[in-house]
Structure 1
Amino acid sequence: MKDVKLPVALFNGTVATTNGLYSIKDIDAATAKRYIKQNGFLSAIGHEATAEVMSDLLGENIKMNRIQFHQQVGQFAIAFKLNIRPQEGDVLTRKEIERIGFSLKLMERLE
């Protein structure tokens, strides 16, 4: 891991928040915990059920925080990615999220 002082952004999807070049790869929960322990975190999670699942998964109190966020060069983000795309307008419950399944992605803005 790079010695980056910027907080790790937490997203509820893999989104490019601004123009740039990004690296995206799979990450497990234990590695995600190390990133946020080392750098702190900033929630940009826009859905309550996702914030609940992420809180349990990462062992942190992660609040829903619908903010406009721009990832900086060198900044890491951990993205929560559902295994399927829900229907338009669906707001999933925690149970539905757990049934569908998900993965975590590590996103780094390279330039």
Structure 2
Amino acid sequence: MAESTKFPIALFNGTVATTNGLYKISDISTNEAKALIREHGHISAIGHEATAEVMSEILEAKIEMNRIQFQQEVGQKAIVLKLNVRPAEGVILSRQEIEAIGYCFKLMERLA
């Protein structure tokens, strides 16, 4: 397996497999997420401004909205902001709506 230390931590606004592979998804605390970003840096694949704002504040890092086509590498870790409720189709949530719905962080690792 590739060393995760050579990759920046990817940031997603959903647990989406970006390419074929084997993935592991687990809970991660805010403090653990902050430590990973401090240690490895990050690359944002956050597609919504409100999500970028929430993540910036909570993770204490400048996180930009960045609608890119991203492909997670084998050995690369990603931090995902996962909403507690799936919004209706086509709905773009405000920061206040994200806070009201609630969310958790997940660690998504591509194993193979």
1:21-40 aligned within 5 A: 21-40=22-41
Greater than 6 Å deviation, 4+ residue runs: none
Q: Structure 1, unaligned stretches of length 5 or more?
A: none
Residue of structure 1 in register with 2:93 after alignment: 92
Equivalent residue runs for 1:25-104 within 5 Å = 25-104=26-105
Residue identity (%): 64
Q: C-alpha distance in 1, partners of 2:5/2:111?
A: 12
SS where residue 20 of structure 1 aligns?
coil
Task: Tell me, in whole angstroms, the C-alpha distance in 2 between the residues paired with 1:3 and 1:68.
Answer: 20
Name the aligned partner's letter for residue 24 of structure 1: I
| Cα distance, 1:3 vs structure 2 | 5.7
TM-score normalised by L of structure 2: 0.96
Q: Contact 2:18 / 2:71 at 8 angstroms: preserved in 1? A: yes
Note the residue ranges of structure 2 that are not aligned, 5 or more in a row. none
Q: Distance in 2 between matches of 1:75 and 1:3?
A: 5
Matching residue's letter, 1:75:
Q
Q: Residue 9 of structure 2 aligns with which residue?
A: 8
Task: Tell me the TM-score normalised to structure 1 length.
Answer: 0.97
When the two chains are superposed, the root-mean-square deviation of aligned CA atoms in Å is: 0.9
